[in-house]
Chains A and B, each alone.
Chain A
């Protein structure tokens, strides 16, 4: 089967750092995406990891360990606008296409 787990909700303080974890169990793994989604809006692409290690992009970094089935998204210097849901999604090859298997999302609440 396939399973993706993320915490349901996290709270952090403006200016601080927060790490959102994602664990997965799936066959046919071909990469992992992180998306940000503000309430009522579409998901916005944040990062993609296919090899083990850390990818840094400004205030956001994403890490992947394929052997552990584990990824995290690290957000630094938190701003109020970072309050959103963060979804991890595993890319899985299917037939001659691919699909995304989505986690349920982590709602991040930033407090002043």
Chain B
């Protein structure tokens, strides 16, 4: 089973709203990732959690706030977003996050949340 689930599938929000994106995996993976993807562009890394600790933050604006309540769950809290933040937000997980260099540590992606900020 290589399933990563994300909710909601679609989200429309105003610039003053607060919302959260959720991601879940039950593969026992210890690394989880948030990506942002604009149309016709590759995924752009936002955050990496490794063993439930934030290990990489790609200088993401503070209006995006990640949270990892446990090893299976990853949230992304959104507040005061801008229209240019509209994108597909992808969650991914991998068995590890690079501690075993010889491993593939394949990242498996969830279906994404299509976010529109009005």
1/0 per position for A41-75, CB-CB distance to B under 8 A?
A: 11111001010000000000000000000000000
Does residue B50 face the partner (Cβ distance < 8 Å to A)?
yes
A42/B111 contact (C-beta < 8 A), A96-B99, A97-B55, A98-B105 known: yes
Q: Which residue of A lies closest to B45 (CB)?
A: A99
Q: Could you say which residues of chain A place their CB within 8 Å of the CB of B99?
A: 96-97
Does residue B1 face the partner (Cβ distance < 8 Å to A)?
no
**Chain A, interface SS category:** strand
Whether the pair B90, A42 counts as a contact (CB closer than 8 A) is yes
Interface size on A, residues (CB 8 A): 26
1/0 per position for B7-51, CB-CB distance to A under 8 A?
A: 000000000000000000000000100000000111101001010
Bound: A44/B43 CA distance, A: 12
Whether the pair B111, A30 counts as a contact (CB closer than 8 A) is no
Contact partner of B110 (CB less than 8 A), chosen from A42, A45, A95, A98, is A42
Whether the pair A41, B43 counts as a contact (CB closer than 8 A) is no
Whether the pair A95, B45 counts as a contact (CB closer than 8 A) is no
Whether the pair A43, B109 counts as a contact (CB closer than 8 A) is yes
Whether the pair A45, B45 counts as a contact (CB closer than 8 A) is no
Q: How many A-B pairs fall under 8 Å by CB?
A: 65
Q: Could you say which residues of chain B place their CB within 8 Å of the CB of A45?
A: 2, 106-108
Does residue B65 face the partner (Cβ distance < 8 Å to A)?
no
Bound: A18/B48 CA distance, A: 34
Q: Which residue of A lies closest to B107 (CB)?
A: A100
Contact partner of A97 (CB less than 8 A), chosen from B98, B111, B112, is B98
Q: Could you say which residues of chain B place their CB within 8 Å of the CB of A104?
A: 41-42
Q: Could you say which residues of chain B place their CB within 8 Å of the CB of A30?
A: 98, 101
Q: Which residue of A lies closest to B97 (CB)?
A: A97
Contact partner of A44 (CB less than 8 A), chosen from B31, B104, B105, B109, is B109
A96/B42 contact (C-beta < 8 A), A41-B112, A43-B109, A91-B105 known: no
Interface residues of A (CB under 8 A from B): 30-31, 33, 40-45, 48, 50, 87, 89, 91, 93-100, 102-105
